[in-house]
Amino acid sequence: MQVNLHETWHIGPVEIPSRLVLAPMAGVSVQAFRRQGRRFGAGLVCSEMVSCAGLQHGNERTLGYLRIAADERPLAVQIFGSDPVVMADAAAMVEEAGADIVDINFGCPVKKVTKTGAGATLLDEPDRACRVVEAVASAVSVPVTVKLRRGLENGSRACLSVGPRLVDAGAASLTLHPRSAKQMYTGAADHALTAELVSLVDVPVVASGDITSRARAHVMVGRAAQGNPWALQEILEGDGVEPSREEVVAELVLFMRETVRELGEHRATGFLKKFYGWYLGRGRFPRAFKAELTQLATISEVEGRLLAAVPGARFVLSRLEETLPQADEVLLDLPISIYGGG
pLDDT tens, position by position, 233-243? 888 877 767 89
DSSP letter at 325 equals: P
pLDDT of the residue at 299: 96
pLDDT in tens, 75-92: 999 999 999 999 999 999
Q: Read off the pTM.
A: 0.86
Q: What are phi and psi of 272, to 5 degrees?
A: -75, -15
Catalytic residue among 46, 52, 108, 159: 108
Res. 339: pLDDT tops 70: no
CA–CA distance, 23 with 76 (Å, rounded to integer): 10
- Report the pLDDT value the prediction gives residue 326, as an integer from 0 to 100: 62
Q: Where are the beta strands (DSSP E) in the chain?
A: 9-11, 14-16, 20-22, 44-46, 50-51, 75-80, 101-106, 144-151, 173-180, 205-208, 219-221
Confidence (pLDDT) at 184: 85
**pLDDT at residue 210, as a whole number:** 64
DSSP line for 153-203: STT--HHHHHHHHHHHHT-SEEEEEEEETTTTT-S---HHHHHHHHHH-SS
- Per-residue confidence at 218, pLDDT binned at 50, 70, 90? low
Position 333 scores a pLDDT of 41
Pairing of strands 75-80, 205-208: unpaired
Q: How far apart are CA 38 and CA 282, in angstroms?
A: 23
SS3 240: coil
130 counts as catalytic = no
Q: What's at 341, amino acid-wise?
A: G
Q: What is the mean pLDDT of the chain?
A: 87
Q: What is the pLDDT of residue 35?
A: 92
Q: 15-62: per-residue pLDDT in tens? A: 999 988 988 888 898 999 999 999 998 999 999 889 888 888 887 777
Which amino acid is it at 5? Answer: L
Q: What is the pLDDT of residues 94-138, one digit of tens each?
A: 999 899 999 999 998 888 898 889 988 999 999 999 999 999 999
- The residue among 248 and 334 whose pLDDT is bigger is 248
Bridge partners (DSSP) of residue 46 are 76
pLDDT at 337 over 50: no
Decide if pLDDT at 335 tops 70.
Answer: no
pLDDT at 330 over 50: no
The three-state secondary structure class of 13 is coil
3 state SS of 62: helix
